[in-house]
Amino acid sequence: MTDDRIIYGVYIDHDVNLVPQLIELLENQIGIQKGITLYRIAKLFFFKNDNETARKYLLESRQYLNSTTWKPIVDLALKDISILMIK
């Protein structure tokens, strides 16, 4: 799966059918890339109206996104899950 397909599918289409593929990608990722993928999975669960699972993935993403520009976004989303609609 290409990065542009992922970005379009998550941020534009809100294609919740990408979740299994993104979870599969996690197996070969480390660091910030893994954190971003976890964040994107959280967004898709939010679009599936599964806020509990979205929060689970947000919490997991935090450990990989510490000291990045993504960390404040994750923190905001954990306080107000609706942030995932726009960030």
What mean pLDDT comes out for the span 53-65?
Answer: 98
d(CA 82, CA 55): 11
Q: Name the average pLDDT for the chain.
A: 96
* Domain that includes residue 47, residue range: 3-85
The total number of structural domains that make up the chain: 1
Q: Convert the pLDDT of each residue in 20-54 to its tens digit.
A: 999 999 999 999 999 999 999 999 999 999 999 99
Q: For the chain, how far is it from start to end, CA to CA, in angstroms?
A: 22
Q: Which two tokens stand for residue 25?
A: 């990608």
Over 90: is that where the pLDDT of 1 sits?
no
Over 90: is that where the pLDDT of 2 sits?
no
Q: pTM here?
A: 0.95
